[in-house]
Amino acid sequence: MDRIRIRGGSPLKGSIAVGGAKNAALPLMTASLLTDETLTLVNLPDLADIQTLTRLLERHGVGIAVDAPASAATGRVVSLRAREITDVTAPYDLVRKMRASVLVLGPLVARCGQARVSLPGGCAIGARPVDLHIKGLEQMGARIELDGGYINAAAPDGLRGAHIVFPMVSVGATENLLMAASLARGETVLVNAAREPEVGDLARCLVAMGAEIDGIGTDTLRIQGKERLHGAVHRVISDRIETGTYAMAAAITGGSLEILGGDLDQIQAVEKVLGAAGVVFERTERGFSVARANGLHGVDVMTEPFPGFPTDLQAQMMALMCVAQGAAMITETIFENRFMHVPELARMGANITIHGASALVRGTPRLTGAPVMATDLRASVSLVLAGLAAEGETEINRVYHLDRGYERLEEKLAACGAEIERIKGSE
């Protein structure tokens, strides 16, 4: 297994380009199941999770081709065509690798009237049930049985529109039902829908494919189902989590970066919190610049559904607060087990105590390098940030987590002055 070695202490200087959003790209790819025509996605990132979903979609019968490799102007262009669905089963070995695979459920039932999708099971950050996806499809007329670890869904006469009120905000359930509703009979209303930019991106792509959706960007989505959808060309939005991660990399090293393609409008809550901590942002023609003004100050943060502070930046924020002056209370409200980075940061000299869903971080003047590892993507990248700021050498194991969500991470950081390298390994 590969490792990443960092010698910390160099302030980052230069520019970093952010890619297409992983969490927008995954549902967009599954939207290709809704039509027998070609869906072309521009700016599709090249990540391990995208490859996993490619394998699953190919199993369902989707033909997938890279039309153009990444260029500065477009990112990768990939076309997907589900002329015919040849298999409606999403097997355990692929779904357990990546929970987002469950996003094939809504499109498959809507298009084929049946689907058999493995239940994803829990993961490192929490139990993460999919009950809201299932209940929503049942309200739309699907018969669902759980059998042998699989969700068996049937709607032989097609799905029908329904009025669905989510008891809590779920990005995945909103996306699954949005896609299903696009091919259902009549009107579907999704109330308390997720407002994450990735949901809006999916909705705009569906509209380009012929769907009729009102309320995009709000918590109430109104969808008029269509008998069929058609092909489209759609550009994937930029990755706000990658954007926020690199902004924090500039801040934690006391450097300054221009984030090319970064969209401050997507990370307003993050900009506000970082601003209070002493980080300065300025819009530029190509994105924005970010630098640490003087010292860093501790600020309290609570994760919330969009437009609140994203859970996917909580671990990175915690790494930053480890070297701030004063204390920061970081509260995680979305996932029940998303503090796996805490003991690893502590091994690097951080002073953090967990009280239920909150972590109290008392800033220390310096972190020291250590061998560390983490069990999820964002926890792993928070250790990279800590390593960039630490004295001495940090070695991060289980790099495959990073490869799921950050394209060419070490290359991008090294180009800005970080002493970082990947060590190929076999163990």
Among 10, 12, 19, 23, binds ligand EPZ (CB under 6 A): 23
CB nearer to ligand EPZ: give 12 or 100: 100
Q: Binding segment for ligand EPZ among 163-171, 232-240, 314-322, 394-402 (CB under 6 A)?
A: 163-171
Which residue of 131, 212, 411, 421 would you call a contact of ligand EPZ, by CB under 6 A?
Answer: 131
Q: Is 311 in the site for ligand EPZ (CB under 6 A)?
A: yes
Question: Judged by CB, which is closer to ligand EPZ: 85, or 132?
Answer: 132
Comparing CB distances to ligand EPZ, the nearer of 26 and 250 is 26
CA distance 349 to 259: 29
> Which residue in the shown chain puts its C-beta closest to ligand EPZ?
172
Kindly give the residue spans of alpha helices, DSSP state H, lying in 220-358: 240-253, 268-277, 314-321, 341-347
Q: Which two tokens stand for residue 209?
A: 């494919």
Residues forming a β-bridge with 232 = 39
Selected from 3, 7, 55, 128, the binder of ligand EPZ by CB under 6 A is 128
378 forms part of the interface with ligand EPZ (CB under 6 A): yes
Alpha helices per DSSP H over 140-229: 171-182, 197-208
Cβ of residue 419: shortest distance to ligand EPZ, in angstroms?
Answer: 26
Residue 253 · residue 272 · CB < 8 Å: no
Going by C-beta distance under 8 Å and a sequence separation of 6 or more, which residues neighbour residue 240? 21, 197, 263, 266, 267, 310
195 binds ligand EPZ, rule: CB under 6 A: no
As given in the structure block, the two tokens for residue 96 are 């357990």
Asked if the peptide bond before residue 307 counts as cis, ω within 30 degrees of 0, the response is yes
Of 270 and 324, the one with the shorter C-beta distance to ligand EPZ is 270
Residue 401: exposed, middle, or buried by beta-carbon count in 10 A (0-12, 13-18, 19+)?
A: buried
Q: Which of residues 318-337 bind ligand EPZ (CB under 6 A)?
A: 334-335
What is the distance between the alpha carbons of residues 421 and 423, in angstroms, rounded to a whole number? Answer: 6
Is 205 annotated as catalytic?
no
Task: Please say which residue, 83 or 163, places its beta carbon nearer to ligand EPZ.
Answer: 163
Between 107 and 172, CB nearer to ligand EPZ? 172
Question: Kindly report the CA angle at 375 between 274 and 384, in degrees rounded to 5?
Answer: 45
Which of 74-82, 124-132, 275-283, 344-352 is the region at the interface with ligand EPZ (rule: CB under 6 A)?
Answer: 124-132
Q: Which amino acid is at 6?
A: I
- Taking CB under 6 A as the rule, does residue 26 contact ligand EPZ? yes
Q: Least distance (Å) from ligand EPZ to the CB of residue 318?
A: 14
Question: What's the alpha-carbon Rg for the chain, to the nearest Å?
Answer: 21
Residues 6+ apart with CB under 8 A from 311: 303, 332, 333, 334, 335, 338
Q: In this structure, are strands 3-7 and 393-397 parallel, antiparallel, or unpaired?
A: antiparallel
Contact of 159 with 142, CB cutoff 8 Å:
yes
Q: Is 176 in the site for ligand EPZ (CB under 6 A)?
A: no
Catalytic annotation, pick one of 123, 205, 322, 416 = 123
Q: Is 165 in the site for ligand EPZ (CB under 6 A)?
A: no
Exactly one of 1, 65, 168, 293 binds ligand EPZ (CB under 6 A); that residue is 168
State the number of binding residues for ligand EPZ (CB under 6 A).
25
Whether 24 and 103 have beta carbons less than 8 Å apart is answered as no
Q: Is residue 197 a contact residue for ligand EPZ (CB under 6 A)?
A: no
Nearer to ligand EPZ, 99 or 292 (CB): 99
To which H or E segment does residue 152 belong?
A: strand 150-154
Distance linking the first and last C-alpha atoms of the chain: 5
Active site residues: 123
Given the rule CB under 6 A, which residues bind ligand EPZ? Answer: 23, 26, 99-100, 126-133, 168, 170-173, 198, 311-312, 334-335, 377-378, 405
